[in-house]
Amino acid sequence: MLKILDFFDYAKSESLWMAHFCTGCCSLEMAAAMGPRYDWERYGYMPTPTPRQADILIITGLVTKKMLPALLRTYAQIPEPKYILALGACSFDGGPYNDSLAVIKNPTEILPADVFVAGCPPKPEAIINGMEEIKQKMKKGVPSAASQGGLWKEMKF
């Protein structure tokens, strides 16, 4: 019995579908990662049209104040277990938009990410590597960071 459950856990970690949601410019490199040269489908990643069937949410770079409620709502719509990949400098500290009026400087303090990928924008290889790290975390059974805490639980969305 235990073996069967292990198999399903393994299956979960090997099949990551991402919600189709762009918050910023890194989505351009994400498109390149889906493209012929980098082709992340080799590893089993696939975009899904609706968050209901997704496993991970990708914060593609900057998050503006206006976008945040939509981001949180999308995150809430994803079924458990769910993980978050944060791309680019913007999702860590605002990056080049740190002084901007409208960009949130600490989106991952609000919605903690499991894996950060550096770069502005990160290269497709780096994005795939970030996804692989999420796989490793899932295999080790590390619970997702957003389920552990974060400001998002106190916010309206």
Partner 1 sequence: MQTLFNIVVFPGILYILAWTVLLFWFFRKFMAALHKRVGPSFNGPMGTYQTLFDLSKLLTKESITPKGVNPYLFSLMPLLALSIAILPTALIPWTPDITVAKSSYGLLGLVVLIGIEPFILFLTGFGSNNKYSFLGGIRILTQMISMETSFFLAALSPAILFSTLNLNSIIQQSSWLSFAILLPGFVLYFIALLGLLEQPPFNIPDAEQEIVYGFYTEYSGTNYFLLKVSEFSEFMAVFAGAVTLFLGGYKGLFFDGFSFLFAKMLIVAMIMMAIRASTPRITMKQMLMFSWKYLVPLSLVNIAWIMIAKILFFGGM
Partner 2 sequence: MDTLKEILSSFESEYIENYKPTWLKVKIAHSADLLQVAKALKESGLKTISTVSATDFIEDNRIEMNYFFEDMLNRRNCWLKCDISRELENCKIDSITPLFKGASWHERETFSMFGVKFTGHDDLRPIIISQDYYGKNPFRKDFDWDTHEANTVENINLIADSFKREEAENEKNIDPNSSETVLNWGPTHPASGPIRLKVHCDGEDIIGIDPDIGFVWRALEHLVTKKDFVGAIVAVERLCFMDNINSMLSYAQAVEEIADVQITEFAKWMRVILGEVARISSHMMGMGGFYNAMGLHTVAMWNMDMREFFLDFLESYSGARIATASIEPGGVRYPLQKEMLVELQAALDKFDNTKEDIRAIFVKNPTMRLRASKLGFITEDEVHDYALCGVVARASGVKTDIRIDEPYAAYDKIKMDYVTQENGSSQDRLIQLFQEIEQSVDIIKQAKEHVEQKIQSKEFNPIKDHMVKVPKKLPKGEAISRVEWARGEVLMHLVTDEKAKSPYRLKMKAPSFNNTMMLNHLLKGKTLSDIPLVFGSLYICQGDLDR
Q: Is 61 left (phi over 0), alpha (psi -120 to 50) or beta?
A: left
Question: With CB under 8 A as the contact rule, which of the stretches 48-56, 60-68, 100-108, 111-119 interacts with partner 1?
Answer: 48-56
* 51 vs 150 by CB, closer to partner 1: 51
The answer to the question of residue 69 lying near partner 2 (CB under 8 A) is: yes
Residues comprising the chain, all counted? 157
Does residue number 157 form part of the binding site for partner 1 (CB under 8 A)? Answer: no
Of the candidates 50, 62, 56, 74, the one whose C-alpha atom is nearest the C-alpha of residue 26 is: 62
Q: Which does 64 bind (CB under 5 to 8 A by kind): partner 1, partner 2, none?
A: partner 2
Contacts of 105 (CB under 8 A, 6+ apart): 93, 94, 98
Residue 100 binds to partner 2 (criterion: CB under 8 A):
yes
Residue 96 lies near partner 1 (rule: CB under 8 A):
no
Q: Give residue 128's identity as a one-letter amino acid code.
A: I
70 binds partner 2 (CB under 8 A): yes
What does 44 bind: partner 1, partner 2, none (CB cut-off 5 to 8 Å by kind)?
Answer: partner 1
According to CB under 8 A, which one of 2, 3, 49, 156 is a site residue for partner 1?
49
Other CB atoms closer than 10 Å to residue 70's CB: what's the count?
14
Q: Which residues pair with 46 in a beta bridge?
A: 17
Q: How many CB atoms lie within 10 A of CB 15?
A: 13
Please say whether the dihedral angle defined by the alpha carbons of residues 124, 126, 127 and 128, taken in this order, is positive or negative: positive
Using CB under 8 A as the criterion, which residues of the chain lie in contact with partner 2 when the complex forms? 19-25, 27-29, 31-32, 34-37, 47, 49, 51, 62, 64-70, 73-74, 96-97, 99-104, 120-121, 123, 151, 154-157
Using CB under 8 A as the criterion, which residues of the chain lie in contact with partner 1 when the complex forms? 7-8, 10-12, 14-15, 17, 35-36, 39, 41-44, 46, 48-50, 52-53, 55, 77, 79-81
